[in-house]
Structure 1
Amino acid sequence: MSPDVRISNTGRWSLAGLVVVLALVVAIWPRGGDESDAPGHSDVMGGNTAASAVERAPGDTDAALAGPRAAAALQPCPTPAPGAAGAGPLAGIELGCLADGSRVDVGAALAGKPALVNFWAYWCGPCAKELPALDEYARRAGDAVTVLTVHQDPKEGNALAALAEYGVHLPGVQDGAGRIATAVGAPKVLPVTALIRADGTVAAVLPQPFDSADEIAAAVSEYLGVAT
């Protein structure tokens, strides 16, 4: 066999190896969603799973968020009753309030009353449809149930802009690291709603979007025994 033939065969094997490598790269490359906007996330149920180690993005300082907070005009976060102490999985978790940046001891703030905790993110389509229904439910429930939203992405400024666009003014906390979701055992999908008993224990974790205030009221009645 001539040297030219041997070189040609070697070239063919090299090309075949390159094709195999390229095929493997394509097979494991992330698909779906806007990966540049939500790094480390994967699309599930129309949303992405939070996978960050930071509570909020470095650029989202209090000064930078002053304007978006004013535009969103959110309700203040719940505060602990005198002498209240957190219990259950949320005890000791402290996060920033979306309304004003103040620190909130979530477990203590929710202690003593049934609570609905809703996990969402600004890029989650089903969340955008669910939040107005949740807002309506909160007005209906009044003081019977504490409703708290939890933003699951580090980009707090984007959350405030989204809430202003939706016209939703619910109290909420910023949790880009997913500490509350981890504590209650929420699956890595959005939206998710956790129903918390007055004693701080978890009654239910519901990985589903709600379409109406009536659906939310039915879930609260079923799992918390509160008619609203």
Structure 2
Amino acid sequence: MSSEPSSGKGAGPAWRWGIVGVIAVVALAVALWPRGSDGEGNPGRQWPTGADSGVSSALRAEAGLAACPRPAAGAAGNGPLAGITLECLADGRPMDLAAATAGKPALLNLWAYWCAPCAQELPYLQQYAQRAANAITVLTVHSDPDEAKALSRLSGLTVKLPGVLDGDSRVRAAVGAPAVLPISVLVRSDGSVAEVVVRAFNGVEDIANTVAGELGVAA
């Protein structure tokens, strides 16, 4: 009985498997390599805009939401919300939450498209915002990653308040709120949190009284 030489056919498969292993290692390294930075405190995340976000411009137009507030010149974000950048539902652009709301009291309403009490409360917030005018920033914070359903829900409720997408609930974590919805975070003009309201408001007067008591804003 004879055996094949160690060189020749036996060496070919071993050499090819070695090449395959090198390619697999390189592919894994590329998959795990950081994809850059958004430039706003969230390394590795690239902010989608317009069609790149997966939400059609037609859906945004149908929702017709008000533009998100933008930071005033030289505004700096302070308090527990500092460093949080979220996507504006109106146009898909990133928004520095603390900087954009600096200098004026704010009511941040945490909600989700599947939350029934949120759907009852949101129209009250719309009415309150119109009544309070420029005395306070009222901003919705969709605490679920499904942006398309958020826009569709707001469109159905005819709520046009400016809103942001917070798919991983960073706002809730930052203020130490429980994992329930809806929640309203009342923020002072200096960025500090005056109160976290863990319940749904039952009307415009309820909102006005609560905000007046905690933030001193009469409306």
The TM-score with structure 1 as length reference comes to 0.73
Change (3 A) 1:223 1:99: same
**Which among 116, 120, 125 is matched to residue 107 of structure 2?**
116
Pick one of 66, 71, 85 that aligns with 2:62: 71
Name segments (4+ residues, structure 1) moved above 6 Å. none
Q: CA deviation at 1:147?
A: 0.5
Which digits, 9 at most, give the CA deviation of each residue in 1:108-148, with x for residues without a partner? 00101100000000000000000000000000111100001
1:156 aligns to what? 147
Letter in 1 for 2:100: A
* Structure 2 residue aligned with 1:81: 72
* Structure 1, unpaired ranges of 5+: 1-53
Deviations for 1:135-162, whole angstroms, at most 9, x for unmatched residues?
A: 0000011110000110011100000000
Aligned to 1:182: 173
The one-letter code sitting in structure 2 at the alignment partner of 1:158 is K
Paired residues of 2:55 and 2:147 also in contact (CA < 8 A) = no
| 1:63 Cα offset (Å) | 4.9
Identity of aligned residues (%): 55
Aligned-partner Cα distance in 2 for 1:187–1:218: 23
Contact in 1 for aligned 2:89/2:164 (Cα 8 Å): yes
Deviation at 1:61, TM superposition (A): 4.5
TM-score (norm 2): 0.76
Tell me, in whole angstroms, the C-alpha distance in 1 between the residues paired with 2:52 and 2:175. Answer: 28
- Unaligned segments of structure 2, at least 5 residues: 1-44
State the 1:181 CA deviation. Answer: 1.0
Tell me, in whole angstroms, the C-alpha distance in 1 between the residues paired with 2:56 and 2:198: 30
How do 1:38-77 residues align onto structure 2 when only pairs under 5 Å count?
A: 61-77=52-68
Q: Over the residues paired in the alignment, what is the CA RMSD in angstroms?
A: 1.6
Count of aligned pairs between the two proteins? 171
Q: Residue 170 in 1 paired to residue 164 in 2?
A: no
Which has the bigger relative contact order, CA under 8 A and spacing at least 6? Answer: 1
